[in-house]
Structure formats: C-alpha cells, structure tokens
Amino acid sequence: MPANETKRFQWIKVLNRKTLPKQVFVCSNHFLDGAPTEQNPFPKLNLGYESQTTPGRRKLSRQEPESRKRKRLLEESSSTETCVNISQTEGGPSSSELLPEAFCDFNVVNPPTASVGTQYVDSDYMISQDHIHSKPWSDTQNTFTQTNTALTEEKGVQVKIESSAMSAKISIVTDSDSLLYTGVSKEVFFTLAEVMSEVNTFKFQLEVADQLLLVLMKLKLNLLFDDLARRFGISKSLASKMFNAWMPVLAEKLKDLVAWLPRETIRACCPESFRENYPRTTVIIDCAETFIQRPTNLKTRSETFSNYKSHNTAKYLVGISPHRQIMFISKAFGGRASDQFIVEKSGFLNYLLPGDEVMADRGFTIEDFLFPRRVKLNIPAFTKCKPQLSNEDVTTTRRIAHVRIHVERAIRRLKVFKVLSGTVPVSSLKNFDDILIVCSALVNLRSDLIRDVNVDTD
C-alpha cells in the first residue's frame, strides 16, 4: 500500500475490507497493468464484489438569456462581415461574385441573374430574418409612422409611437361612436371636453379631449391600461396616472348633475304611470352591487362578502326620481351591509321632507326611520303570517312592481359602464366613490328613460 495518504485512502476504499492488517500486500492479478501504474494506480480486477455505479445528476440545460444570445449573434455577424472584407482586400473574389451582405434588421436578397448551373426558388427572395428580434418590413411602416416624440416625465416614459394614434377628433365622428366609447352623445362629449379644458391643470402631452376620451373609455369599456396605452401611443404608467388624476376632478365638477330635485319639479315632471296611483312619490330606491377582487385581509374579506351574490362586492344605494333621473348615489359599502344599514348611514334620510313618499323593494323595512320624519313607505305586501295575499294586496303589489321597475332600468343604464359591471381590482377601490358619481352624472346626461312625461307649460 502506498505511503501517500490520498492514494492510501483510495486503496482502502477499493479493497472494501472492514479490517486490514498492518502490512497490506495486493496480488498483481488485481491490477490492469499487472502492477500499479500512473494510469491505473489502484486494484480493479477480481476484488470479490461488484462495484456499484451511482448514476450522476442530470445536467440541467440552461436556456441562454435573450440579451446574451442577441449579443453573440451580433458578434458572429460582425466577424463574418470582417472576414468578407479581408478576403476582398487580399484579392479574393469581387463583390459581384459574393452573396449579398446580411444585415441584422431587415435584409431582402435580390435574385442574381439565373444561369444554367444555378436554380433559384421563391424562398430565396423572401425576407431573411437573421435574428429572432428582427421584424419583417410592412408597407404601412414608413417615415411618417416612426417615433415622433419621446418625453420622460417622472417614472412614466411618455412616448408617442405612431402618428395614427387614437384621438377624439378622429374617433368621435358620430353619436354612435361617442356612445360606444364614452356612453354619451357626441355633443355632450365635446361640451364636456371644453368645460374640462378650462380647469385643466395637468401637464400631459395629450390634448384635453384625448385625455377625457381615455378616462371615459376606461369607464365605459373597462379596457386594460396596456390596451389604452397602445391605442393612444403612450406608456402604461402614464395611462394609469392620467386616469387616477382625472377621476377626482371629474367627480368634483359633475357631482352637481346628481342633485336632489325640489318637490315642485318632481311633481311637474311626474309621468302618467305615477300620476294615476302614486302621484306623491318622491324617490324610488334600490341597492346595487359590483364585484371586487377578494381582499387579502381577512376582516375586509368578511365585511365585503355578499351572501346574495356569493362574492366579495361593493354595495351602494341608488335613488331615482319618478322620471328616471338619478337624484342620489351613496358611497360604497361592503357587500355584507344590509339595506337598512346603508339607508341609515349614507345620508339619504337627510333629503326627505314631511309628506314625501318613498318606493322601495320588499327588503327595505325602514319604517322606523321614516315614521319620525312623516314620510310614507310604499313596498310590496308580505305573506308573513298569512296563507296568501288578499286581492287588495295583490293589486297593490302589482301596481308598485309596475312603476318600481324603472329603478332597475336606471341601474341597468349605470351598469352599461363596464367598470361597474365587471370586477374592480382592490387597487382601484380608492377611486370607486368618484367612479360612482361620474357614471351617475353621465347617465343623467343621456336621453329620458321614460318618454311619457307631461311638463307644465308654465
């Protein structure tokens, strides 16, 4: 056995004996070369056991990063061009005999003169893409659709990519276009843009009409900020920043359009369907819910879970006049809140006067709140402790349901704005009260919900 510790340890491992004598000798038959050599210094033959080979670990194939691969390809292409230039300098074949030079971006190979010895197919004339990051040239890509402006504003890079970016003057041509993108008519949209231009204090690159179009498209169509950024030729962060900046301003300027009308105005504009049976009705109320993302906080998650919708929701109270105008919109509450709780805490009771009548659904048992204010509540009849409804209760319930359906139609107009009919992210809940005010004001700017309105000539 050798005196070297490393080799000695390897011998002991190969011999695989529990105990060894002081003097160890190994027969030459156990060596491949008959004796220890530099290539085979250890015994390997006829050791009395079979050596177990443990499989090695599988070598993971690492994917080359995109930036490193692009750099490598550029270096290879540059080295190829260098070799071509050297060969031309040293008296090699002329440039007419060489293949066309390959470029990194877009390379169209022109077909050389066909001869008997060379045959060309259509694929030889196709666009050559040397790298995965190269893009084919399109006919619409010219000098007029290149980058126009590149500005940097704080963390968001404001870039106008193409001159054909979406704008209000190009996209809003007819009323149908305006209703599709904004939810209001063309005249209302441009009037609103003129009003907002007077109070504009933001230094965004887009015009005020384009900024307003972006905000209303987010409300109406609930598009992603990535989509809006591509449409208007700006960055995603700038589109989000623009929406969050304009929402409080729009809510402050449009909140007067969601106003509680005087009793005389309500009586004068009362439709025939209300004049017949409920001429003293002041407001019709109902609650609506909008889905929200499930919060991570357990307490908030339990407060926003709605048993009626079986989902986390934001709940709000909507009150309309008999001729469909939204007169009251509450702040958002958690989906767990009851209708009575929202009526009490939203400030709705402060608008009622003695002698008013409130029409609501069967779930609004709010007589205890209305009786001290001498306000009457009209709700469908209950069958509690009764085998069935009487003829009078059936008639009353049918009449109430016939006119109360208008509040459902007003809520449906409110849900035309997809931001209220979709699922609101938790990050957008900070602007949800402003979104409710703006959407309610835009609903009031549309045509009448009920057309049989009799207005006094005075």
Lowest mean pLDDT among 185-194, 251-260, 381-390: 381-390
Both structure tokens of 367: 């007589």
Question: What pLDDT digit, counting tens, does each position of 164-197 carry?
Answer: 689 999 999 999 999 999 999 999 999 999 999 9
Contacts 24+ apart (CB under 8 A), 406-410: 406/284, 406/320, 406/322, 406/324, 406/449, 406/450, 407/284, 407/285, 407/286, 407/318, 407/320, 408/286, 409/324, 409/449, 410/318, 410/320, 410/324, 410/326, 410/443, 410/449
pTM for the model stands at 0.63
The arithmetic mean of pLDDT across residues 440-448, rounded, is 88
Q: What is the DSSP letter of 271?
A: B
The arithmetic mean of pLDDT across residues 252-279, rounded, is 90
Q: Which distant-in-sequence residues (6+ apart) come within 8 Å of 444 by Cβ?
A: 257, 258, 325, 326
Lowest mean pLDDT among 48-52, 145-149, 176-180, 245-249: 145-149
The arithmetic mean of pLDDT across residues 144-173, rounded, is 57
Q: Average pLDDT over the chain, rounded to whole?
A: 79
Angle between the 225-232 and 236-254 helix axes, to the nearest 10 degrees?
100
Residues 448/323, Cβ–Cβ less than 8 Å: yes
Lowest mean pLDDT among 302-311, 399-408, 446-455: 446-455
pLDDT on residue 12: 81
| Confidence check: pLDDT of 157 > 90 | no
pLDDT on residue 440: 95
Q: Which distant-in-sequence residues (6+ apart) come within 8 Å of 215 by Cβ?
A: 242, 243, 246, 247, 250
Share of the chain above pLDDT 70, in %: 75
Residues 195/187, Cβ–Cβ less than 8 Å: no
Rounded Cα distance between 386 and 391, Å, is 13
| Confidence check: pLDDT of 45 > 90 | no
pLDDT on residue 392: 79
Specify burial of residue 3 (Cβ count, 10 A radius: 0-12, 13-18, 19+): exposed
| Confidence check: pLDDT of 362 > 90 | no
**287 pairs with which residues across the strands?**
317
Q: Which distant-in-sequence residues (6+ apart) come within 8 Å of 15 by Cβ?
A: 24, 26, 43, 47
| Confidence check: pLDDT of 51 > 80 | no
Q: Please state the separation of Cα 8 from the chain's center in Å.
A: 69
Rounded Cα distance between 212 and 246, Å, is 8
The arithmetic mean of pLDDT across residues 428-452, rounded, is 86
Alpha helices in 16-97, H assignment, sequence order = 66-89
The arithmetic mean of pLDDT across residues 204-214, rounded, is 94
First-to-last CA distance in the chain? 124
The arithmetic mean of pLDDT across residues 223-231, rounded, is 94
Whose CA is closest to 212, among 177, 170, 258, 245?
Answer: 245
pLDDT on residue 257: 94
Rounded Cα distance between 395 and 316, Å, is 30
Residues 287/339, Cβ–Cβ less than 8 Å: yes
Q: Which residue has the higher pLDDT, 366 or 50?
A: 366
pLDDT on residue 105: 44
Rounded Cα distance between 228 and 218, Å, is 8
